[in-house]
Structure 1
Amino acid sequence: MQFSFDGSEPIYRQVAEQIEETIVTSGFDEGKQIPSTTEISKEFHINPATVLKGMNMVVDKGLIEKRRGLGMFVTVGAREKILEDRRSKFYDNFVKSLVTEAKSLNISEEDLINQIKRGFTE
């Protein structure tokens, strides 16, 4: 995990993003326990309340679950849920504007697809 303490993104959001990223990259496997709030706060010198706030964001998304007396565990299907959310955001943030720009340049759908294929081969 990496945290930017001088960036504009609040630390608790960075904690949530880092946990999600670690789930996506299979650093935290589904059904397995993740490090505790205390472990993360000590390792990265972050206030435990800040870490907990970030973890609770991930809990609220249904990606990790609290098991009383045991800790936090990655939920089954968490990785796919994150990827689906990212695919949706990719479409909204990139594909829509790409198509809009292509239309304004009179680039046909076929030409746009060919350019995208070219991008994959270069």
Structure 2
Amino acid sequence: MKTKLDDSRPIYIQIKEFIEDSIINETIKIGERVPSTNELAKFYNINPATARQGMNELVMDNILRKQRGVGMFVTEDAKEILIGNRKKQFYENYIVPLQDEANKLEITKDQLIEMLEKEGNMDEN
């Protein structure tokens, strides 16, 4: 588990993102039980209601499902949903501003692609 929380963002969001990252990188696998709100509260020394808020958002997003009396488990579609959401955020937070700046600087699409390939050495997926 991520060992420290910081003051830069609300704690429940950090809890939520920790669970999301753990699902994406498969530290927590599909169908697996996630730490309970009480376990998270004890580990991070926070109020269980704070941990619950992050977990409840994951339930509402169909990332986790509650099994009464047993705990919360990763849904079958969790990783796919999370990656789709992250790709959308990536597009909005990075690609759109990149395109706007490229347009201001009169950088063509081909030039932009060339820059990305040269600088990023990105793997082909």
The two structures have a TM-score, normalised by structure 2, of 0.89
Residue in 2 that maps onto 1:57 = 57
Corresponding residue of 2:72: 72
**In 2, distance between residues paired with 1:18 and 1:2?**
10
Counterpart of 2:101 in structure 1 is 101
TM-superposed CA distance for 1:82, in Å, is: 0.7
Report the AA paired with residue 15 of structure 1: I
Report which stretch shifted further, 70-79 or 38-47: 38-47
The answer on 1:81 being equivalent to 2:81 is yes
Distance 2:103 2:8 in 1: 35
Identity %: 37
Deviation at 1:101, TM superposition (A): 1.1
What is aligned with 1:4?
5
Q: Which residue matches 1:91? A: 91
| Structure 1 residue 109: Cα displacement | 0.9
How far off its partner does 1:120 sit?
2.0
What SS does the corresponding residue of 1:88 show, helix, strand or coil?
helix
Give the number of aligned pairs: 121
Deviations, residues 56-97 of structure 1 (Å, cap 9, x unaligned): 011111100100111100001111111111111111111111
Name the amino acid aligned to 2:52. Answer: L
Structure 1 counterpart SS, 2:53: helix
Determine if contact 2:12/2:51 at 8 Å carries over to the other structure.
Answer: yes
Q: Tell me which amino acid in the other structure corresponds to 1:73.
A: F
Scaled by the length of structure 1, the TM-score of the pair is: 0.91
> Which amino acid in structure 1 is aligned with residue 35 of structure 2?
P
